[in-house]
Structure 1
Amino acid sequence: MPAHKHVALITNANKYYDRGIVKGVADYARKTGRWSVYFEDDPLTKMPNLRTWAGDGIIADLEDEAVVKAIAGVKVPVVGIAGGGGVAARAKVSYYVDSDDRQIGCLAADHLLERGFRHFAFAGLPSTPTNPWVHARQEAFVERVQEAGCDCSVFIGRYKTASRWEALQKEMVKWLKKLQPPIGLMACDDLRARHVLEACRRAKIHVPESIAVIGVDNDELVCDLAAPPLSSVVQNTHGIGAEAAALLDQLMRGRRPKSKWRIVPPLSVACRQSTDITTMEDTLVADAVRFIRENVSRRIAVDDVLDHVGVSRTGLDQRFKQQLGRTVHQEIDRVRLKLARELLRSTDLPLDRIAARAGYIHAQYMSTVFRRSLGRTPGQDRAMAMD
């Protein structure tokens, strides 16, 4: 039987993102049954003494500059997570697993665009050597909304932490008051979104009526404590952890995987009150879109939407095309496909149950829609999300 491998898991246990990754690593380690893991939640002891530690491999969060410096010279295999590719290079880490930050920005933009916003904003952080992910999310978000013909204001600010809380709030309030509502705003993560929500409260700006806010990470404690509860992009942290563990396992076996850089896409958006609004100039279209979103799992058709709003198909299609650039039928198909993909990525439900929940007649028809729209089957789409 192969000998046990001693692995150091160097993460920040106070970060929700890292805790999800730890769970993914733990599940992989349990399946192998051959790992002993060094893991400490105390920030002062999260890293073993690498000069004396007799280990076989390391998985490390590279957002900590001290960690980057400490692991730069180690002789055992290292897989980096978080921080970005540039940080991995400085840490002399060849193998790296991270979030798809561009896809995160696009997913947040699509979530707000679907709600009819035409003016947007992004709240980021001052740049540091270990947070290139902020710029990647900002760039993708801005590009996505500009492609839709919309404008976007960007806030960076001088302060990135709550240690300068009052100064941070003062400059953020000043920025928010200059924006022309209604605004769809993405914050680079949930903590920055919390800063935005507090600034809105101080400025007496209503959320989501004047500014709808979405964060990233779906830290449930932060999201549920926020006022109002915060919508957030759900990252596949478990998948990142499992992927990092599998990669390290191969390295410790003496193998050299061809793919050194692995990017894991986000799962979905957890919609809460902070974006629970449809803002469109045409209130009838807004009502129809809301009806579709809330009832798509009931196998609704165009006639159901027409009955709800009391308008002819020709008239409603014209108004949909003016507001959204697509017909009522196309919007139903889009929302149904989006729901099916979210269920594929966030659950292990069988295809027949996913088809039923998304409002398809049966799984075979859902597969036909996937092949026609995406060029792949539902099973292939699920596998891509897990790769």
Structure 2
Amino acid sequence: MEPRQTPLRIALLFNANKSYDRHVFAGIGQYLGSTRVDWDLFLEEDFRCRVQGIERWRGDGIIADFDDPTVAEALTRTALPVVGVGGSYRDATLYPQGMPYVATDNAKLVRLGYTHLIDQGLERFAFYGMPPAPDHRWALEREAAFVELLQADGREPIIYRGRPTSAGGWDVAVEHLVAWLEALPKPIGILCVTDARARQLIQACLLAGIAIPEQVAVVGIDNDALARMLMRIPLTSVIQGTEEMGRTAAHLLHQMLRGIDHSATRIVVPPAGINVQASSRHQPVRSAHVMRARLYIRQYGCLGIKVEQVAEHVGVSRTVLEEHFRRELKQTVHQALLQHKLESARELLVKTDLPLAEIAVRCGFTSLPYLYAVFRREYDMTPREFQAEARRRDAVQTATP
């Protein structure tokens, strides 16, 4: 029997409290699981990135987040093989020199979100970015890409960078964000530099009573499951190719450890797609009553609210609200409520393995038999049959080259 080789020691220098970094980790893990690579991975217990003393670390290789300039600076002093991961740049001189680099394509991320908003029939667009900072270079790249796209189309870009988020300054930051939103021409599509920024924007819209997506259609970047969980209105988000970045970075390091020179390699990874949800599905509506009602339904429709509660929130009688809904949407308020609950149920059926009884409760149906009855009436199939058919179609699309 051959003696077992000692695993190679590889450091992962990322702040994995961010969705972006966690997905890069997932890609690295996929590469390790699909090859015979034997790596002993080092990362901080709390998943923070600390580089102090890294030049003295006795390992074999490093994969690191180069969006943090302190990381990039620290790793210029190490003789170990290093693969950098980060954002793409329009200026090629900003890329790290003498080492391989795997980048997310900032320009294509922005283009995908912008194109989606155009497809919704919108004609005005804004960008919610971040204040300049050494570790926000990627955010400024996305902002610049947005400006270039709009100017090329003969449109005037509207930019708001906001304020840094902190508990002490949060109230002031929200006040300024609300004031900016209220002053915008509407309807308008807003592309946010991250899902975290998009969540703040949606909260500010709800606080100000601004209808989403009738007045403001919102798109984020990251497809962050945690951010989606913390919002009442499902967020449309551009999906970065982060798992592909992780797989690519691991592959490059694997080859470097075998003596292959990748010092001049630079790979830019395009987005993986866009997850379209309610926050950007813009539908022109003239009635302020309908906009206010639909915003309320999107927030609380799965909590068992009734038509009377919607009318009370809007501040008109049920008769008046029904008339506005028939004129604008060719449906009743009850039908709008039921449509929202069905959309939520379909989403859970396709993307989770929750028990059907729990899905019924989460989506505001009074019982599981009622959920079955509505599905048979609307789709001529049971919830379980709908789930199986949706997953079969998804498997066929995934397998199709």
Using the size of structure 2 for normalisation, the TM-score is 0.65
Where 2:127 maps in the other structure, the secondary structure is strand
Is the CA contact 1:84–1:130 (under 8 Å) kept in the aligned structure 2? no
Where 1:201 maps in the other structure, the secondary structure is helix
1:36 aligned residue: 40
Q: Deviation at 1:258?
A: 7.1
Q: Deviation at 1:29?
A: 2.1
Name the CA distance, whole Å, in 1 between partners of 2:152 and 2:240: 24
Q: Deviation at 1:13?
A: 1.5
CA deviations on 1:177-210 (whole Å, 9 max, x unpaired) are 2111000000000111112112212222111110
Unaligned runs of 5+ in 1: 282-286, 288-293, 295-346, 358-362, 364-377, 380-387
Unaligned runs of 5+ in 2: 287-328, 330-342, 344-391
**Percent identity, aligned pairs only?**
34
- The one-letter code sitting in structure 1 at the alignment partner of 2:60 is D
Structure with higher Rg: it is 2
| Correspondences of 1:185-204 after superposition (within 5 Å) | 185-204=190-209
Name the CA distance, whole Å, in 2 between partners of 1:82 and 1:227: 31
2:102 aligned residue: 97
Is the CA contact 1:79–1:94 (under 8 Å) kept in the aligned structure 2? yes
1:22 to 21, 25, 38: 25
Is the CA contact 1:78–1:93 (under 8 Å) kept in the aligned structure 2? no
Q: Structure 1's 78 and 258: CA in aligned 2 closer, same or farther, altered over 3 A? A: closer
2:175 aligned residue: 170
Name the CA distance, whole Å, in 2 between partners of 1:28 and 1:120: 39
Q: Structure 1's 43 and 69: CA in aligned 2 closer, same or farther, altered over 3 A? A: farther
Matched, 1:160 2:161: no
1:13 to 7, 11, 16: 16
Q: Please, what is the CA RMSD of the aligned residues? A: 3.2
CA deviations on 1:32-83 (whole Å, 9 max, x unpaired) are 3321111234156755842442111100112334423322201101111125
Q: Deviation at 1:262?
A: 0.8
Using the size of structure 1 for normalisation, the TM-score is 0.68
Q: Deviation at 1:149?
A: 4.4
Matched, 1:248 2:262: no
Q: Structure 1's 136 and 148: CA in aligned 2 closer, same or farther, altered over 3 A? A: same
CA deviations on 1:67-121 (whole Å, 9 max, x unpaired) are 2332220110111112556899687662111100000000000110000000111
1:319 aligned residue: none
Where 2:134 maps in the other structure, the secondary structure is coil
Name the CA distance, whole Å, in 1 between partners of 2:263 and 2:64: 20
2:7 aligned residue: 4
| Correspondences of 1:84-163 after superposition (within 5 Å) | 94-157=99-162, 159-163=163-167
Where 2:214 maps in the other structure, the secondary structure is coil
Name the CA distance, whole Å, in 1 between partners of 2:393 and 2:56: 43
Name the CA distance, whole Å, in 2 between partners of 1:80 and 1:221: 26
Q: Deviation at 1:124?
A: 0.6
| Correspondences of 1:1-387 after superposition (within 5 Å) | 4-30=7-33, 31-43=35-47, 47=51, 49-82=53-86, 94-157=99-162, 159-163=163-167, 164-257=169-262, 260-279=265-284, 353-354=396-397, 379=401
